[in-house]
Amino acid sequence: MSTRWPRPLIDAGVAIVRDQAGKVLLAERQAFQLSPGFWELPGGKIEDGETPAQAAARELAEEVGLEALALVPFAVHEHLFATRRIRLHLFLVTAWRGTAQGREGQRIAWVDPRFPEVGPILPSNLRVMAVLGLPPVILSTRAGPHAMDAALALAPALAAAGRAALLVDEPELAPAPRRMLARRLVGLARGAGGVVLVRGDLQAAIQAGAAGVADMPDRLPVPTARAPFLRFATCASAADVAAAAAAGADALLIDAPTERALAWLHGLPPCPVFLRDGPTAGMESADGRRLGAWHTLAEVASSGTASTVGHASGQRRQAAA
């Protein structure tokens, strides 16, 4: 019987810097580093006596010459490499001073996290890039017996260029047709650069190759060590939101009036939040939290707002500027 040798755990502080257009700062790893040629968010090992935030700020200054003026905890992600485990303590840099440059001779780039123009991306960074690349609108199928026709008709246009994420939310469908719908939507959205999630059916999400699953906080799967499979928590109360934060959910779907929902978020990490009937174009709060909308395909079709949803990303960027 063989035994797996233990892999040392390395804690790292990582800085997420986004410009007004939503682009994220990446740096290329150099020839003398592990995984040379891969691109990653600025960051590095937490030294003795440092807090994760101090390490993220120090690495940001050393690597790319930016002074972090304000850091907000974003998430903690763990990744398993062949010879080590990396635990990333991720921080949003909501204010900084300086001009980014490769201070150690490395290349840097500002990239759209959905479609980074550089690569390959370091595997431990894929999950956070997927989270940062989420569109500002989520549209659920929730069409009952007409789910297949309605979703398949609207999906290509709304998923184009990442304009909206599609949520397969069909509890009344039997497992087989629900999984068929998920596979069809993943095929359509993938060709258009879109994102598909499945609600309450982890196996359907995995089998269809969806980007993630949405479920109650206590039903979320354990985060995977390698693939950037996203975990959305559906919440209807303050207790649900707190449980989702404790479970390390990548994003929240909150079904409550906007004012009440926002009150539940105070003091929690600023993961993306999608609100029922929330801001169609998306917006960014003072702590760097991205707020988006959660609608149904039927609502979009009946209200004639497909064009508004289709331009949501551009509106968000203009508002952020």
Residue 194 and residue 166 share a domain: yes
Classify residue 1: in a domain, yes or no. Answer: no
Residue 140 and residue 123 share a domain: no
Classify residue 292: in a domain, yes or no. Answer: yes
How far is residue 142 from each of residues 58, 61, 149, 150, 307, measured CA to CA in Å? 47, 47, 12, 10, 20
Q: What contacts 282, CB < 8 A, 6 or more positions away?
A: 135, 136, 137, 290, 291, 292, 293, 312, 313, 315, 316, 319
Residue 260 and residue 156 share a domain: yes
Residue 284 and residue 155 share a domain: yes
Residue 149 and residue 110 share a domain: no
The predicted structure's pLDDT at residue 276 = 86
Residue 73 and residue 204 share a domain: no
CATH code of the domain covering residue 71? 3.90.79.10
Q: How many distinct structural domains can be found in the chain?
A: 2
Residue 284 and residue 190 share a domain: yes
> What pTM was computed for the model?
0.85
Residue 250 and residue 116 share a domain: no
The predicted structure's pLDDT at residue 157 = 64
Pairing label, strands 283-284, 290-296:
antiparallel
Range of the domain at 98: 9-127
Residue 141 and residue 121 share a domain: no
Residue 108 and residue 139 share a domain: no
CATH code of the domain covering residue 219? 3.20.20.70
| pLDDT tens digits along 243-286 | 999 999 999 999 988 888 989 998 888 889 999 877 655 677 77
In the predicted model, residues of the chain with pLDDT beneath 50 are 1-3, 161, 306-321
Residue 174 and residue 99 share a domain: no
Residue 138 and residue 115 share a domain: no
Task: For residues 37 and 67, give the distance between their C-alpha atoms in angstroms, rounded to a whole number.
Answer: 25
Sheet containing 39-40, strands listed edge to edge, beginning at the edge strand earlier in sequence: 39-40, 24-28, 108-111
Classify residue 3: in a domain, yes or no. Answer: no
